[in-house]
Amino acid sequence: MPTIFTQIIDGKLPARFVWQDEKCVVFLSNRPLRPGHCLVVPRQEVDHWIDLEPALLGHLAETAQVIGRAQMSGFKPERIGLMLAGLEVPHCHFHVVPIRGLHDLDFGNQDPNPDTAMMDQAAETIRRERRAAGYSQVSD
């Protein structure tokens, strides 16, 4: 059975995509820790990050950097947090989160019902900043 992330990638479940390429996608978390919280997900279903091919791991990290730079520019946080927890969905994914401090990476603080307008604005902010950085070839 496909993971929830594969269902999102295949268009069977909705998501706010901010990056799509042949190897991975990036979309907003539907339970964000902070506005702009994104998930970098390989198209290939791999459960644990240590099982990723090194080239794919590198691509995911490079993509997370691009998204993190867009978040930094668009949201002006103290830092961009990057986390690979991998316990909640058996499909490797990076959490890229604009943070003010370590407390912003506490999954007990997820917003289970985020404001739709805030989510739409966060996605557009990341897309705008990503395009401004020269990544217009990536589809929205």
Q: How far apart are CA 140 and CA 123, in angstroms?
A: 10
Q: For 39-86, what is each residue's pLDDT tens digit?
A: 999 999 999 999 999 999 999 999 999 999 999 999 999 999 999 987
Domain annotation covers residue 72:
yes
Domain annotation covers residue 137:
no
| Whether 2 contacts 10, CB under 8 Å | yes
Structural domain harbouring 33 = 25-47+54-79+98-111
Domain annotation covers residue 30:
yes
Mean pLDDT estimate for the chain: 95
Domain annotation covers residue 122:
no
Q: How far apart are CA 106 and CA 52, in angstroms?
A: 25
* The residue type at 99: I
Q: For 123-136, what is each residue's pLDDT tens digit?
A: 999 999 999 999 87
Domain annotation covers residue 36:
yes
Q: How many domains does the chain have?
A: 1
Domain annotation covers residue 20:
no
Q: How far apart are CA 96 and CA 79, in angstroms?
A: 10
Q: How far apart are CA 42 and CA 72, in angstroms?
A: 23
Domain annotation covers residue 31:
yes
Domain annotation covers residue 34:
yes
